[in-house]
Amino acid sequence: MQTQNQGSALGGTRLTMVPVEEFDPELRELVKADERTPLELGLLRVHAHRPSHAKAIVGLHAALWTDRLLPDRLLELVRLRIAFFNQCRTCMAVRYPGAIEDGLTEDLVCSLEKPHEATNLSAAERAAIRYGELLATDHLAINDDVYDDLRLHFTEEQIVELGAYSAFCVGFGRLGATWNMIEELPERFHEGDVATPWGGEAIALT
Q: pLDDT digits over 132-146, tens only?
A: 999 999 999 999 999
Q: Which CATH class is domain 72-204?
A: mainly alpha
Pair 86, 94: CB distance under 8 Å: no
State the Cα angle at 56 between 76 and 49, rounded to 5°. Answer: 100
Q: Could you give the CA distance from residue 194 to residue 142 in angstroms, rounded to a whole number?
A: 26
Q: Would you list the domain boundaries of the chain? A: 72-204
| Burial (CB count within 10 angstroms: exposed 0-12, middle 13-18, buried 19+), residue 87 | middle
Q: pTM of the entire structure? A: 0.92
Predicted confidence band at 192 (pLDDT cuts at 50, 70, 90)?
confident
- Per DSSP, the three-state class of 148 is helix
Residue 8: its pLDDT value, please? Answer: 44
- Per DSSP, the three-state class of 184 is coil
Q: Please give the mean pLDDT across all residues of the chain.
A: 93
- Compute the half-sphere exposure of residue 171: CA atoms within 13 Å on the CB side of its CA: 8
Q: pLDDT digits over 12-24, tens only?
A: 899 999 999 999 9
